[in-house]
Amino acid sequence: MVVKNAIVCDVDGEYEADIRIEEGVITQIDQNLEDSEVLDARGAYFMPLLVDTNVRLQDSILNSKNIKAISKKALSGGIGHIVLSGDSLPAIDNEIVLEFAQNSLHNLCGAKVDIMLNTLQEDATLSNIAILLKKGAIVPFMSTVAKNNLAIKIAEYTQMYGVTLFCKAEDNSLIKNGVMLEGDVSSKLGLAGIPDLSEVLHVSRMIEIARHFKIRILFKSIASPRSIFLIDKAKKEGVDVRCEVSLHHLLHSDEACENFNTTAKIDPPLASRSDVELLQKALKDNHIDLLTTLHQPNSPVNKEVAFYDASYGCEALEDALSLYYTKLVKSGMISMSELLKLTVRNPANSLDQEKGHIKVGEKVDAVIFDTNAQTRVNNKQSLYNEELLSGKVLKSFQGKQVTTF
């Protein structure tokens, strides 16, 4: 097959070319290629499938049906590889649950799915990290509700196995009663707030643990500009720490929670309007390493209730690439190549994988994305419901598997 008239785009830039694909491998990138099977891209992007390492299942329930559904949704949104959060129901904190989850990964008709392990069991004791990593869990996940002695043991395992520690910075005593950011909006709505200090305190603590043990930590879904400042400062001092931010935190402030809009009740809570501006500046200044859709789907029965009782989360996976393009690239915030660094190369690197290039000799893992087409979001669980987005995923290539949307 030859894909003609495409804009080839990867982390190194973009250029016009034709791409020859044989047996699921890119064998030639050149001008004026011919073949008996030709696909005219008509000026659409030919680019790597995205990677999202912060995805949850429907109602966080771990079962085969939900895994298959999330895999299909991800691919339709231009995402070819997702990592499921370890704090599912049941949590992936023992061999039995891990094996159960792995048995659901066969014959998926969408994105590749990997599993992270939860380093803490329900009773706040340590899970068997060594066994779970050996059995195929891709990375360890910890919440900083872990006490110092446990955090240190988790760091030692991370050091021993040379993996990235996925870390959610939160203070149990501060998040316990709050349901959104503590501030003017929460006061206006009469809702208990969570101070951003909940995150900042534990980012600082885990930076020192990373410094001491010389381990790599990826801070998940950071919401505070102060946290980003601390992470960036630590990087300059040689500490191997990285920062992930969700698309929602770059675009929406806590004002989205007004009128008790439960779709805007997400974890971590949306930041203040002034902090959203600082997060956007951090993105433009290259202080953010990864982006995520922070996909946390819930059944209506868990969302269409009083704000205090509603589950955390919103959906974005099916519209991921169109959202990223419209909100970040078309708006001029970042370039398409920069987007691919944040959504392909860096997430894959956190899993010790190399992705983000379109190269001859490599298995094709790409998507055709037409920026001239439009997509309307039709999802009441999305913060972008009914918005008209630029860009549409037309086809995906995963080796020999070609999917048309």
Of the pLDDT bands very low, low, confident and very high (cuts 50, 70, 90), residue 191 is very high
Packing angle between helix 148-161 and helix 197-213, nearest 10 degrees?
50
Quick one: pLDDT at residue 53? 98
Cβ neighbour number for residue 96 with a 10 Å cutoff: 9
Model-level pTM? 0.97
Helix 225-236 and helix 197-213, axial crossing angle in degrees, nearest 10: 20
Q: Above 90 in pLDDT, residue 253?
A: yes
What's the pLDDT tens digit per position in 209-249?
Answer: 999 999 999 999 999 999 999 999 999 999 999 999 999 99
393-403: pLDDT as tens digits? 999 999 999 99
Query: Stretch 382-391: mean pLDDT, rounded?
Result: 98
Backbone angles phi, psi at 74, to 5 degrees: -60, -45
CA atoms of 322 and 326, how far apart (whole Å): 6
Q: What does the pLDDT read at residue 130?
A: 97
Q: Which residues pair with 39 in a beta bridge?
A: 3
Instruction: Give domain 49-357+375-387's CATH number out of 3.40.190.10, 3.30.70.640, 3.40.50.1820, 3.20.20.140.
Output: 3.20.20.140
Report residue 17's pLDDT band, with 50, 70 and 90 as the boundaries: very high
Q: Is the pLDDT of residue 184 over 90?
A: yes
User: How high is the pLDDT of residue 98?
Assistant: 97
Mean pLDDT of 325-330: 98
Task: Give pLDDT, residue 88.
Answer: 95
Instruction: State the average pLDDT for the chain.
Output: 97
pLDDT, tens digit (0-9, with 9 covering 90-100), for 334-343: 999 999 999 9
- 25-73 pLDDT, tens digit each: 999 999 999 999 999 999 999 999 999 999 999 999 999 999 999 999 9
The pLDDT value given to residue 187? 97
Q: Which pLDDT does position 144 carry in this prediction? A: 97
pLDDT in tens, 270-281: 999 999 999 999
Q: Under the phi-then-psi rule, with left for phi > 0, alpha for psi from -120 to 50, and beta for the rest, what region is 13?
A: left
Q: Give the pLDDT confidence score for residue 217 in this predicted structure.
A: 98
Handedness of CA 225, 246, 367, 23 (dihedral sign): positive
Model confidence band, residue 176 (pLDDT cutoffs 50, 70, 90): confident
Q: Which residues pair with 223 in a beta bridge?
A: none
- Reported as a single tens digit per residue, the pLDDT across 296-320 is 999 999 999 999 999 999 999 999 9
For residue 177, pLDDT beyond 90: no
Neighbours of 156 (CB within 10 A): 13
Whether residue 352 has pLDDT greater than 90: yes
H-run or E-run covering 51:
strand 50-55
User: Under 8 Å CB-to-CB from 240, ≥6 apart: which residues?
Assistant: 210, 214, 215, 216, 217
Element (H, E) at 161: helix 148-161
Q: Residue 354's closest CA among 367, 345, 342?
A: 345
